[in-house]
Structure 1
Amino acid sequence: MSTKEVVSSSRHVARPLDQQARSRELFVIAVDPETSFPGDPFVARLRSEIGDTADRESLPAALDGLRDEAVRWSTAESRRFEELGSTATAPLGTESLVRRTALAAAPLALRSGAWLQWQSAPGNADDATTLRILTLYASDVGVGRPQDSRGSVYLALLRHLHLSEHAVPVARLVHDPRVADHHFCLPATLLAMSRRPAEFRPEIIGADLCLRTVGLLPALRLVRQAHPQLVEWSAIDPSAARDGETRTGLELCLDVIEHGFDDAELARVTDGFRWAFTVLRRWSTSLLAELEEALDPAYEMAELLRHRAREGAVYHRDFTVADRPLSSWLEEARTDPRGLLAELAASRLVKPGRSAQSPLVNGLVGERGPMFRVFSPADLVVIRRWIDSLPTGQPERVRPGPVHEGRTVSPELLASVTGGAGTGGPVAGDREPADVREAYHLLQQRTDTPAVRRFAVDYVRGWLARSRHNMATDPQRLPDVWGREGLRPWLVEQHDRQGRDFEESAGAPMPTREDLVDSTVQLAPLTLIDGAWLQGFTDYEHAASEQGYFLFETYWDELGNGVPRMNHPLIYREVLAEMDVQVPPTASREFAEWDGFRDGSFELPVYWLSIGRFPRTFLPEILGLNLAMELSGVGGTYRRARQALKSYGFSTKFVDIHNTIDNVATGHSAWAADAVDTYLASLPVSHGAQAITEVWDRVRTGFRSLNPPTGLLARRAFRRARKASRSLAAI
């Protein structure tokens, strides 16, 4: 389902009082891994709201004071939720509170840490602060382990509680009518903020510090109290250390702040903390009030009536309650169900205190009744609990308080996203890059404009068309058919071949020192963005998925696992320095315009930078490209490069690292093959063999795209495909 379809449908599935569903809409836009928030209106509006929303009167001004206050609040608020859980009548009352709380926290907890997902980009991949943030994020997503992000553990909790019907993929959560719109407000705003990392880094880290200082959400203490052994609660607590790690999430975040920001940026970190703390406190207060009201079974019954009133109002025009058509009562119940609830309690459909004898949940919903399957089993539990709570004898006309509603996303903020530039509308001065050098510079960052984004899509489609040209004649291509035995046997064969090629070329002359330096320099635009084709797999849903976790771990390795001395771009710069070559910073315009590079040295890097922005659209091609990249030097090219570098006294560290971590047994090449196999094996059998063939052809094209043909006809295919892509976008 496309983002537009999800957003459109979400407007119709929200709770009836949430007609605009603004927080839902922003959430579903912001979780899209290929989303874009270009233009100034969104940034200006969000920055204004951060300042206007934050409670500056009652909260401390300094960051340390805010942290102390957050700890005090969390302790006291947790106690309130635990006490509330203790007062509920077991088992139905307690489980009702548990279910409501788990669902209310789901939009935030299922994306715990996701606001850090775009902090690293090709242009800042060697920056020390970026690497610290990436270390923190890698812990959150459970790097190296599938389905082990903090959000994945929370999903396991929802599954244990039988509440996960709408939780996968997370965009479907907006379809769950049990999750009120205001529960999406904080996570939607944080995720939207994450899509403009350059503008909001200090505020994002401040908000992150707030959430880690608070630790496990106070509301979730109620759930943990009821189910202490259900999941690994420390994995859900963002302040805690993950299994096997020595530093906690809070310590890692504090390390980022201590070493990564100057005084002006620290003030913005404080603003982000204060804003998040303000919104979190209001949300928690709202939820606590809702749960207190929900202790009364009449509250949940009123809520159920409101949820189901719209479809029910179409029927029951001939059935009367208190001399009024039930359909009329249901129309009223869409906004205020209290009147209908009181009349139902006094009607012949209900036997107060005796749900087993009440027609409403007995004969009417039986397999021969007129309301068979109208109510779900969970609905029937709510109805029976309400009936059993009614006083026997002459029933009182119970009129519960109004169903609680909390804060939602402002219409101005949503309009700044959906009303213009945020959805690809015109941006002042927006234009496509004039050439590959300018494209290289503009694509270094995560944020783009509609024109730059169109350029990237067109460039990828053109490059893939070039890669498909005469593919059947390429001796280095992937097998024509993917077999169920997977790629590991083929991978070992390729490694053996590359080893033989190396041995056969042992007598070949070394390149001259000048040629070695020149080739090293011309590879710099490519190598200094090592891993750029995988940048889309930092997105939360991909980073922990069954096939994506291989790719995120590969990306994590390319950047040195957060350690600057192991960072591949930095290591490559050390080699250039040994060669007396000083190039400008990679993300700078000066780098792209440096006359020491030839224009052709930017063609493949721009493809990497472009395809990496679309991890969903071009997933099969990226899987193939990644396999080609990781296999390309192992056993042969890296060994030849090592000999050449060593012969002239240059460091061999860069090629040595790659020849080991890319190995075909347990390294990146093996992971790349496994990622392809996992993806193809996961295709539904119902799609048939043709679907696997089509996807496999796309993987093969991606594999060849690392070294596409260079002939005239191949380049003509590139130009034709780019032109066709532009024409398609213009329709």
Structure 2
Amino acid sequence: MSAPTVAAAPSRATRTPSTAAEAARTVYGKVVDPEAALPAGRLLTEIRTELEGSLDPDGGLDALRRRAADWSAAETLQYQELREGLAPDTREVLVRRTALACAPLSLMSGAWLQWLSSPGNGDDPAVLAVLALYAADLGVGAPRASRGDAYLPVLRQLDISENAVPARRLTADQRIDDGHFRLAALLLAMSRRPDDFLPEILGADLCLRSVGLLPALTLVRAERPTITRWDVVDPATARGEGRTGTDLAQSAVEAVIARDGEEARTRISTGFRWALAALREWSGRLHTELTEACDPVFEMAELMRLRAREGSVYHHDYALEGRQLSDWLKECQTDPRPMLAALSRSRLVRPGAPGQSMLVTGLVGEKGRMFRVFSPEDLGVVRRWIGSLSGPAEGTPEAGAPLAPARPLALSAWRPEDGGTPPADVREAYHLLLNRTDTPAVRAYAREYVHGWLGRSRHGIDDSSMALPEQWTPQGLRPWLVDMHDQHSEAFEQGAEQELPSRDELIDSTVQLAPLTLIDGAWIKGFTDYEHASSEIGHSLFDTYWDELGNGQADLNHPLIYREVLIEMGFDLPPTASRAFAAYDGFRDGSFELPVYWLSIGRFPQTFMPEVLGLNLAMELSGVGGTYRRARLALKKYGFSTRFVDIHNTVDNVATGHSAWAADAIDTYLSSITASQGAGALDAAWQRVRTGYRSLNPPSGFRARQAGRRAARDAVKGR
């Protein structure tokens, strides 16, 4: 029998994972958390160093876009050439590997835009242009309609989706090389510091849309053209009849440049050049990996390395060429080549004949010692490797040159260097909480504030005239919602003859409500987070947030419409995000208490999800059918615009509007609780929803406030 060749085990399978690549995987797992808080300090410095490290010439954004498109076209040809002439089973290997390699970026496509809007800038036309881009990526208005959700069927149809949802689980998938997380991890890390990186994020985003469908994915699309809607996966395309993703991105870039000037253009170009360089590096590494994976020895060596640690605990009583198999497996963790060569010479393997090889027949059968050790996917790898052998191996060939390691991300820099100082009072808290970024001290203040407010809201709830029923039923809240609307209407009709407030009283209440109303939607800002914004529970909350800010149009933006009324009344207030606004002496301190609660609870969409859902229902239902109608009469009487209350009385309606969506979100949430955790968990969750509902207008007596202080103290102790 002729001497066979056991090809050199690929470098990626034989080298120890680098600390740098592992860091990228870990960072990815942290920054996909909806409550992630990226600290200031050395980590930001590292990100800036990374961004400014590209050696590509600038040449302006138009030139950069052409360069990105040209690279994409050329790189696509490289992947097409790689696919040509391969056997079907080898093409299948490449399809699966490519789909997994692209998953960290594609499952979160557009997520880096998730925090670019905030209560402090929600009336900024440039931010509205960014929000329009993000809403298109999400497929706003429908659950599971995001570009990332369109990628999920690719993994599902290939039977490799077990770690895909939620995105944090993806870091546990050892089939994905650590380096494939790096680009997405940095983009998502920047998204958690929008005040520091907004122009760079937009530049990187424009680059990705100029590239279009990732070149590697054209290989998957060619093999599986109907596996998903590839037009949605491609970030450059339009959603429905809307503008293309590239056009929306370009509009957002132009709006930011118009607002911030040439410095913004420079920083946008920096982000673009970094993203293009990072894409080139990543795609080149992936192409090398796929080229190596065409050889079955590559996947076999990789499989042995990944399984060796667990296997080395056993097999002390089995010898392979005079050594315990457990010892071979220990060595295999860093270099699988010697064991592969020995295994190919053993009685467990018939080179070229997997069907006659004990390694994939008797040993893994129901009575075999390795039953269920290998998954069906693993067994396919072993069979292909055996089928590629032509006879007993002689010697161990040298490995090829190793892949260049990914450049490092220092995890030690994740620790905040300074906890900061908590807000001195409610006005300072309002100002600091308007932005997405914060310090540990501000974040701790917000959490304590929420616990205190909810403790006050829970006080005496069972003895109160709580509108929500004591128990939730599977029939849902829609019938209750209609009853409440009828009550609001009846109360309005009965009080129609009541005297309206005086002009001065109307103006005063309008001004005092400004800190609240100018941050419309602040309580649900956490549901702009990518996975929440497209989920069955959260998509309607994002849709509500999108409506509050005018669907990307300044003339429909609720804060701007409210400012028009204030100007009619003679009050041209400072910008909401400015310190001057929070310090304005025309506001009473008490006018900031509820807004600070909104701003605080909006930071914790996971921790306080039931309470946010209840608060959202209370907020959306509060004025429909009654209060808005009465406010309209007062505004009209004194000659002020009624547009603000008119638009809320329509968009908040109980049939197809925000109130209906709020009720449906609660029903969806509680139904999921029932299905996964049972009746006991359902009762606890419903009580939390009821507390959230009451938190819009909690009791204000001494005992209630005392209960709130006690809850806040307990929260501090529990940290």
TM range (shorter): over 0.9
Q: Deviations over 1:577-618 (max 9, x none)?
A: 000111111011110010000000000000000000000000
Structure 2 counterpart of 1:663: 653
SS in 2 for 1:280: helix
Structure 1 counterpart of 2:584: 594
Q: Which one of the candidate residues 388, 412, 418 is aligned to 1:426?
A: 418
1:94 and 2:77 aligned: no
TM-score when normalising by structure 2: 0.96
Partner Cα separation in structure 1 for residue 209 and residue 77 of structure 2? 18
Gaps of 5+ in 1: 1-13
The 8 Å contact of residues 615 and 696 in structure 2, kept in 1 or not, is answered as yes
How far 1:240 moved relative to its partner? 0.6
Q: Cα distance 1:459–1:618, how it changes in 2: closer, same or farther (>3 A)?
A: same
Amino acid at match of 1:195: R
SS in 1 for 2:424: coil
Structure 2 counterpart of 1:314: 313
The 8 Å contact of residues 58 and 269 in structure 2, kept in 1 or not, is answered as no
1:359 and 2:358 aligned: yes
Q: Which one of the candidate residues 645, 656, 673 is aligned to 1:683?
A: 673
How far 1:702 moved relative to its partner? 0.1
Amino acid at match of 2:357: S
Amino acid at match of 1:252: L
The 8 Å contact of residues 559 and 568 in structure 1, kept in 2 or not, is answered as yes
1:441 and 2:431 aligned: yes
Structure 2 counterpart of 1:85: 83
The 8 Å contact of residues 182 and 405 in structure 1, kept in 2 or not, is answered as no
Amino acid at match of 1:415: S
Amino acid at match of 2:704: A
Q: Cα distance 1:409–1:492, how it changes in 2: closer, same or farther (>3 A)?
A: farther
Q: Cα distance 1:352–1:188, how it changes in 2: closer, same or farther (>3 A)?
A: same
SS in 2 for 1:562: coil
How far 1:472 moved relative to its partner? 2.0
Gaps of 5+ in 2: 1-13
Structure 1 counterpart of 2:618: 628
Amino acid at match of 2:262: D
The 8 Å contact of residues 15 and 334 in structure 2, kept in 1 or not, is answered as no
SS in 2 for 1:289: helix
Structure 2 counterpart of 1:128: 125
Q: Deviations over 1:617-647 (max 9, x none)?
A: 0000000000000000000000000000001
Q: Deviations over 1:411-448 (max 9, x none)?
A: 43x2211xx20xxx633xx1111111010000000001
Structure 1 counterpart of 2:107: 110
Structure 1 counterpart of 2:490: 500
How far 1:659 moved relative to its partner? 0.2
How far 1:81 moved relative to its partner? 0.7
How far 1:319 moved relative to its partner? 1.9
Q: Which one of the candidate residues 242, 245, 250 is aligned to 1:249?
A: 245
Partner Cα separation in structure 2 for residue 639 and residue 486 of structure 1? 27
How far 1:406 moved relative to its partner? 5.5
Structure 1 counterpart of 2:49: 48
Amino acid at match of 2:39: P
The 8 Å contact of residues 353 and 388 in structure 1, kept in 2 or not, is answered as yes
SS in 1 for 2:99: helix
Amino acid at match of 1:258: E
1:450 and 2:418 aligned: no
Structure 1 counterpart of 2:170: 173
Q: Which one of the candidate residues 49, 60, 63 is aligned to 2:61?
A: 63
Structure 1 counterpart of 2:554: 564
Amino acid at match of 2:338: G
SS in 2 for 1:88: coil
Partner Cα separation in structure 2 for residue 60 and residue 651 of structure 1? 49
Amino acid at match of 1:193: M
SS in 2 for 1:626: helix
Q: Deviations over 1:327-353 (max 9, x none)?
A: 222111111111111121122111011
Structure 2 counterpart of 1:24: 25
- What aligned pairs does 1:165-564 form with structure 2 within 5 A after superposition? 165-242=162-239, 244-261=240-257, 262-391=261-390, 393-395=391-393, 399=397, 401=399, 405=403, 407-408=405-406, 410-412=408-410, 414-417=411-414, 420-421=415-416, 426-427=418-419, 430-564=420-554
Amino acid at match of 1:65: A
How far 1:506 moved relative to its partner? 0.6
TM-score when normalising by structure 1: 0.94
Partner Cα separation in structure 1 for residue 551 and residue 286 of structure 2? 39
Partner Cα separation in structure 1 for residue 619 and residue 266 of structure 2? 42
Q: Which one of the candidate residues 139, 143, 149 is aligned to 2:140?
A: 143
The 8 Å contact of residues 485 and 654 in structure 2, kept in 1 or not, is answered as yes
Partner Cα separation in structure 2 for residue 82 and residue 226 of structure 1? 11
Partner Cα separation in structure 2 for residue 404 and residue 224 of structure 1? 29
Partner Cα separation in structure 2 for residue 655 and residue 347 of structure 1? 81
The 8 Å contact of residues 660 and 667 in structure 1, kept in 2 or not, is answered as yes
Q: Deviations over 1:255-277 (max 9, x none)?
A: 11122211111011001011111
Amino acid at match of 1:644: A
Q: Which one of the candidate residues 632, 640, 658 is aligned to 2:630?
A: 640
Q: Deviations over 1:469-518 (max 9, x none)?
A: 11123324310000110000000000000000000001001111000000
How far 1:403 moved relative to its partner? 9.3
| Percentage of identical aligned residues | 58
Q: Which one of the candidate residues 621, 625, 650 is aligned to 2:640?
A: 650
How far 1:320 moved relative to its partner? 2.1
Q: Deviations over 1:647-703 (max 9, x none)?
A: 111000000000000000000000000000000001154522111000000000000
Partner Cα separation in structure 2 for residue 211 and residue 686 of structure 1? 38
Partner Cα separation in structure 2 for residue 649 and residue 670 of structure 1? 32
Amino acid at match of 1:448: D
Q: Deviations over 1:678-729 (max 9, x none)?
A: 0000115452211100000000000000010111111111122122222223
The 8 Å contact of residues 551 and 557 in structure 2, kept in 1 or not, is answered as yes
Amino acid at match of 1:630: E
How far 1:40 moved relative to its partner? 2.6
| Greater RCO (CA < 8 Å, at least 6 residues apart) | 2
Partner Cα separation in structure 1 for residue 96 and residue 676 of structure 2? 34
Partner Cα separation in structure 2 for residue 499 and residue 227 of structure 1? 56
Q: Over the residues paired in the alignment, what is the CA RMSD in angstroms?
A: 1.6
Partner Cα separation in structure 2 for residue 15 and residue 542 of structure 1? 38
How far 1:68 moved relative to its partner? 1.2
The 8 Å contact of residues 122 and 529 in structure 1, kept in 2 or not, is answered as yes
Q: Cα distance 1:477–1:404, how it changes in 2: closer, same or farther (>3 A)?
A: farther
Structure 2 counterpart of 1:6: none
Partner Cα separation in structure 2 for residue 214 and residue 151 of structure 1? 17
How far 1:372 moved relative to its partner? 0.9
The 8 Å contact of residues 345 and 397 in structure 1, kept in 2 or not, is answered as no
Structure 2 counterpart of 1:5: none
Partner Cα separation in structure 2 for residue 39 and residue 338 of structure 1? 44
Residue range with higher mean Cα deviation, 465-474 or 123-132: 465-474
The 8 Å contact of residues 298 and 400 in structure 1, kept in 2 or not, is answered as no
The 8 Å contact of residues 22 and 410 in structure 1, kept in 2 or not, is answered as yes
How far 1:387 moved relative to its partner? 0.7
The 8 Å contact of residues 459 and 722 in structure 1, kept in 2 or not, is answered as yes
Amino acid at match of 1:350: V
Partner Cα separation in structure 2 for residue 543 and residue 439 of structure 1? 26
How far 1:397 moved relative to its partner? 5.3
How far 1:122 moved relative to its partner? 0.4
Q: Cα distance 1:394–1:601, how it changes in 2: closer, same or farther (>3 A)?
A: closer
Partner Cα separation in structure 1 for residue 119 and residue 614 of structure 2? 20
